[in-house]
Amino acid sequence: MRIRLSHLAFSALATLITVNAAQADEVQVAVAANFTAPIQAIAKDFEKDTGHKLVAAYGATGQFYAQIKNGAPFEVFLAADDSTPAKLEQEKETVAGSRFTYAIGTLALWSAKPGYVDAKGEVLKKNEYKHLSIANPKAAPYGLAATQVLDKLKLTEATKAKIVEGQNITQAFQFVSTGNAELGFVALSQIYKDGKVSEGSAWIVPAELHDPIRQDAVILNKGKDNPAAKALVDYLKGPKAAAVIKSYGYEL
Protein backbone atom coordinates (compact mmCIF):
# COMPACT_ATOMS: atom_id res chain seq x y z
CA MET A 1 0.00 0.00 0.00
CA ARG A 2 2.86 2.39 0.86
CA ILE A 3 4.49 1.88 -2.54
CA ARG A 4 1.22 2.53 -4.32
CA LEU A 5 0.59 5.78 -2.44
CA SER A 6 4.14 6.95 -3.16
CA HIS A 7 3.57 6.27 -6.83
CA LEU A 8 0.34 8.28 -6.78
CA ALA A 9 2.05 11.12 -4.93
CA PHE A 10 4.87 11.11 -7.46
CA SER A 11 2.37 11.22 -10.34
CA ALA A 12 0.56 14.17 -8.77
CA LEU A 13 3.84 16.01 -8.25
CA ALA A 14 4.90 15.36 -11.83
CA THR A 15 1.57 16.69 -13.06
CA LEU A 16 1.93 19.81 -10.91
CA ILE A 17 5.43 20.45 -12.25
CA THR A 18 4.19 20.00 -15.82
CA VAL A 19 1.31 22.43 -15.27
CA ASN A 20 3.62 25.02 -13.70
CA ALA A 21 6.12 24.66 -16.53
CA ALA A 22 3.34 25.14 -19.06
CA GLN A 23 2.25 28.31 -17.29
CA ALA A 24 5.76 29.77 -17.11
CA ASP A 25 6.71 32.24 -19.81
CA GLU A 26 9.74 34.29 -20.83
CA VAL A 27 9.67 38.08 -21.12
CA GLN A 28 12.12 40.12 -23.22
CA VAL A 29 12.94 43.39 -21.44
CA ALA A 30 14.81 46.49 -22.61
CA VAL A 31 16.40 47.97 -19.48
CA ALA A 32 17.99 51.42 -19.13
CA ALA A 33 21.65 50.88 -18.25
CA ASN A 34 21.40 52.67 -14.88
CA PHE A 35 18.95 50.01 -13.68
CA THR A 36 21.19 47.02 -14.46
CA ALA A 37 22.05 45.99 -10.89
CA PRO A 38 18.53 46.41 -9.45
CA ILE A 39 16.81 44.45 -12.23
CA GLN A 40 19.34 41.63 -11.93
CA ALA A 41 18.49 41.35 -8.24
CA ILE A 42 14.75 41.64 -8.91
CA ALA A 43 14.90 39.04 -11.72
CA LYS A 44 15.99 36.30 -9.31
CA ASP A 45 13.03 36.90 -6.99
CA PHE A 46 10.65 37.35 -9.93
CA GLU A 47 11.61 33.97 -11.41
CA LYS A 48 11.44 32.24 -8.03
CA ASP A 49 8.08 33.78 -7.08
CA THR A 50 6.28 33.59 -10.46
CA GLY A 51 8.08 30.92 -12.47
CA HIS A 52 8.48 33.38 -15.34
CA LYS A 53 11.92 34.15 -16.74
CA LEU A 54 13.18 37.68 -17.40
CA VAL A 55 15.60 38.11 -20.33
CA ALA A 56 17.15 41.58 -20.24
CA ALA A 57 19.13 43.77 -22.63
CA TYR A 58 20.86 46.89 -21.27
CA GLY A 59 21.54 50.20 -23.00
CA ALA A 60 20.67 53.85 -23.50
CA THR A 61 17.00 54.82 -23.55
CA GLY A 62 17.31 56.72 -26.84
CA GLN A 63 18.96 53.75 -28.53
CA PHE A 64 16.22 51.43 -27.30
CA TYR A 65 13.59 53.79 -28.70
CA ALA A 66 15.16 53.49 -32.17
CA GLN A 67 15.39 49.69 -31.84
CA ILE A 68 11.76 49.38 -30.76
CA LYS A 69 10.64 51.52 -33.70
CA ASN A 70 12.65 49.22 -35.97
CA GLY A 71 10.89 46.10 -34.71
CA ALA A 72 13.15 44.83 -31.91
CA PRO A 73 11.50 41.93 -30.03
CA PHE A 74 11.18 43.69 -26.66
CA GLU A 75 7.98 43.18 -24.71
CA VAL A 76 8.59 45.46 -21.72
CA PHE A 77 10.61 48.69 -21.65
CA LEU A 78 12.17 50.08 -18.46
CA ALA A 79 13.32 53.52 -19.56
CA ALA A 80 15.52 56.08 -17.80
CA ASP A 81 12.98 58.84 -18.41
CA ASP A 82 9.23 59.32 -18.71
CA SER A 83 9.18 61.13 -22.05
CA THR A 84 10.34 58.19 -24.21
CA PRO A 85 7.67 55.74 -22.97
CA ALA A 86 5.10 58.56 -23.30
CA LYS A 87 6.19 59.10 -26.90
CA LEU A 88 5.88 55.38 -27.66
CA GLU A 89 2.44 55.47 -26.05
CA GLN A 90 1.36 58.34 -28.32
CA GLU A 91 2.69 56.42 -31.32
CA LYS A 92 0.50 53.41 -30.39
CA GLU A 93 3.53 51.19 -29.70
CA THR A 94 2.41 50.25 -26.17
CA VAL A 95 -0.38 48.49 -24.33
CA ALA A 96 -2.86 51.18 -23.24
CA GLY A 97 -2.78 51.97 -19.54
CA SER A 98 0.39 50.00 -18.81
CA ARG A 99 2.80 52.93 -18.32
CA PHE A 100 3.87 53.84 -14.77
CA THR A 101 6.85 55.33 -12.90
CA TYR A 102 8.90 52.51 -11.38
CA ALA A 103 11.73 54.68 -9.94
CA ILE A 104 13.01 58.23 -9.64
CA GLY A 105 16.73 58.35 -10.32
CA THR A 106 19.47 60.28 -8.58
CA LEU A 107 22.56 61.73 -10.26
CA ALA A 108 25.99 61.62 -8.60
CA LEU A 109 29.39 63.10 -9.36
CA TRP A 110 31.82 60.25 -8.70
CA SER A 111 35.50 59.40 -8.63
CA ALA A 112 37.01 55.96 -8.13
CA LYS A 113 39.55 57.66 -5.84
CA PRO A 114 38.56 57.90 -2.16
CA GLY A 115 38.50 61.51 -0.99
CA TYR A 116 38.75 63.00 -4.50
CA VAL A 117 35.15 64.26 -4.62
CA ASP A 118 34.02 66.37 -1.66
CA ALA A 119 30.52 66.22 -0.18
CA LYS A 120 29.47 69.50 -1.86
CA GLY A 121 30.96 68.88 -5.30
CA GLU A 122 33.40 71.79 -5.08
CA VAL A 123 35.93 69.68 -7.01
CA LEU A 124 33.84 70.41 -10.10
CA LYS A 125 34.26 74.17 -9.74
CA LYS A 126 38.00 73.96 -8.97
CA ASN A 127 38.42 72.58 -12.50
CA GLU A 128 41.77 70.87 -11.74
CA TYR A 129 40.85 67.58 -13.42
CA LYS A 130 41.63 66.65 -17.03
CA HIS A 131 38.58 64.56 -17.92
CA LEU A 132 34.92 64.63 -16.91
CA SER A 133 32.82 61.65 -17.98
CA ILE A 134 29.12 61.92 -18.87
CA ALA A 135 26.67 59.76 -20.82
CA ASN A 136 25.51 60.89 -24.27
CA PRO A 137 22.87 63.53 -23.44
CA LYS A 138 20.99 62.84 -26.68
CA ALA A 139 20.43 59.17 -25.84
CA ALA A 140 20.79 58.89 -22.06
CA PRO A 141 18.62 60.89 -19.61
CA TYR A 142 21.37 60.84 -16.97
CA GLY A 143 23.68 62.45 -19.51
CA LEU A 144 21.08 65.14 -20.19
CA ALA A 145 20.76 65.73 -16.45
CA ALA A 146 24.56 66.10 -16.22
CA THR A 147 24.53 68.84 -18.87
CA GLN A 148 21.73 70.61 -16.99
CA VAL A 149 23.84 70.59 -13.81
CA LEU A 150 26.85 72.05 -15.62
CA ASP A 151 24.61 74.71 -17.14
CA LYS A 152 23.02 75.54 -13.77
CA LEU A 153 26.48 75.89 -12.19
CA LYS A 154 27.69 77.98 -15.17
CA LEU A 155 30.42 75.43 -15.92
CA THR A 156 29.40 74.42 -19.45
CA GLU A 157 32.11 76.42 -21.23
CA ALA A 158 34.79 75.71 -18.63
CA THR A 159 34.31 71.93 -18.90
CA LYS A 160 33.60 71.69 -22.64
CA ALA A 161 37.09 70.52 -23.64
CA LYS A 162 37.24 68.03 -20.75
CA ILE A 163 34.08 66.06 -21.47
CA VAL A 164 34.49 62.35 -22.22
CA GLU A 165 31.18 61.05 -23.53
CA GLY A 166 29.97 57.48 -23.09
CA GLN A 167 27.26 55.94 -25.25
CA ASN A 168 25.26 55.23 -22.10
CA ILE A 169 25.59 55.57 -18.33
CA THR A 170 27.43 52.24 -18.05
CA GLN A 171 30.19 53.44 -20.35
CA ALA A 172 30.34 56.78 -18.54
CA PHE A 173 30.85 54.84 -15.31
CA GLN A 174 33.53 52.65 -16.91
CA PHE A 175 35.56 55.68 -18.01
CA VAL A 176 35.82 56.70 -14.35
CA SER A 177 36.26 53.23 -12.85
CA THR A 178 39.18 52.47 -15.20
CA GLY A 179 40.88 55.80 -14.50
CA ASN A 180 40.40 57.21 -18.01
CA ALA A 181 38.51 60.10 -16.39
CA GLU A 182 39.22 61.44 -12.91
CA LEU A 183 35.54 61.95 -12.25
CA GLY A 184 32.19 61.75 -13.95
CA PHE A 185 28.44 62.00 -13.61
CA VAL A 186 26.91 58.57 -12.99
CA ALA A 187 23.67 57.13 -11.68
CA LEU A 188 23.76 56.86 -7.89
CA SER A 189 22.53 53.28 -8.27
CA GLN A 190 25.87 52.32 -9.87
CA ILE A 191 27.87 53.23 -6.77
CA TYR A 192 25.32 52.89 -3.98
CA LYS A 193 24.18 49.88 -1.96
CA ASP A 194 22.33 49.57 1.32
CA GLY A 195 22.44 53.24 2.24
CA LYS A 196 25.99 54.21 1.34
CA VAL A 197 28.43 54.84 -1.50
CA SER A 198 30.18 51.50 -1.92
CA GLU A 199 33.49 52.70 -3.43
CA GLY A 200 35.48 55.83 -4.24
CA SER A 201 34.04 59.25 -3.36
CA ALA A 202 30.90 61.03 -4.52
CA TRP A 203 28.71 64.10 -4.39
CA ILE A 204 25.02 63.28 -4.56
CA VAL A 205 23.72 66.00 -6.85
CA PRO A 206 20.78 68.00 -5.40
CA ALA A 207 17.58 67.30 -7.32
CA GLU A 208 16.95 71.00 -7.97
CA LEU A 209 19.99 71.22 -10.25
CA HIS A 210 18.33 69.18 -13.01
CA ASP A 211 14.96 68.03 -14.26
CA PRO A 212 13.49 65.08 -12.31
CA ILE A 213 14.71 61.72 -13.61
CA ARG A 214 11.37 59.95 -13.60
CA GLN A 215 11.88 56.44 -14.95
CA ASP A 216 8.80 54.90 -16.56
CA ALA A 217 8.05 51.31 -17.51
CA VAL A 218 5.59 50.22 -20.18
CA ILE A 219 4.37 47.03 -21.82
CA LEU A 220 5.09 47.18 -25.54
CA ASN A 221 2.73 45.80 -28.17
CA LYS A 222 4.85 42.68 -28.59
CA GLY A 223 4.14 41.82 -24.95
CA LYS A 224 0.40 42.32 -25.17
CA ASP A 225 -0.48 38.61 -25.02
CA ASN A 226 2.44 37.47 -22.85
CA PRO A 227 1.38 36.74 -19.23
CA ALA A 228 5.01 37.18 -18.13
CA ALA A 229 5.03 40.79 -19.34
CA LYS A 230 1.97 41.65 -17.22
CA ALA A 231 3.41 39.67 -14.30
CA LEU A 232 6.69 41.63 -14.42
CA VAL A 233 4.95 45.00 -14.43
CA ASP A 234 2.80 43.92 -11.48
CA TYR A 235 5.88 42.59 -9.68
CA LEU A 236 7.73 45.90 -10.10
CA LYS A 237 4.87 47.61 -8.27
CA GLY A 238 5.09 45.19 -5.33
CA PRO A 239 6.91 45.44 -1.97
CA LYS A 240 9.78 43.06 -2.78
CA ALA A 241 10.83 45.01 -5.88
CA ALA A 242 10.32 48.33 -4.06
CA ALA A 243 12.75 47.27 -1.31
CA VAL A 244 15.42 46.40 -3.89
CA ILE A 245 14.88 49.63 -5.84
CA LYS A 246 15.21 51.75 -2.68
CA SER A 247 18.37 49.90 -1.62
CA TYR A 248 20.09 51.22 -4.76
CA GLY A 249 19.34 54.85 -3.93
CA TYR A 250 16.22 55.41 -6.03
CA GLU A 251 13.07 57.14 -4.84
CA LEU A 252 9.65 55.68 -5.55
Q: Give the C-alpha distances (Å, rounded to integers) separating 148 from 1, 66, 189.
A: 76, 24, 19
- Say if residue 68 carries a ligand binding annotation: no
What one-character DSSP code corresponds to residue 107? E
Buried-exposed string 91-115: b where 16+ CB fall within 10 A, e elsewhere: eebbbeebbeebbebbbbbbbbeee
DSSP 149-186: HHHHTT-HHHHGGGEEEESSHHHHHHHHHTTSSSEEEE
> Which secondary structure element, helix H or strand E, spans residue 19, and what is its range?
helix 2-23
Is 245 annotated as a binding-site member?
Answer: no
C-alpha 155/C-alpha 236 separation (Å) is: 38
Residue 122 to residue 5: CA distance in whole angstroms: 74
Which residue numbers belong to the known binding site for molybdate? Answer: 61, 169
Which residue numbers belong to the known binding site? Answer: 61, 169
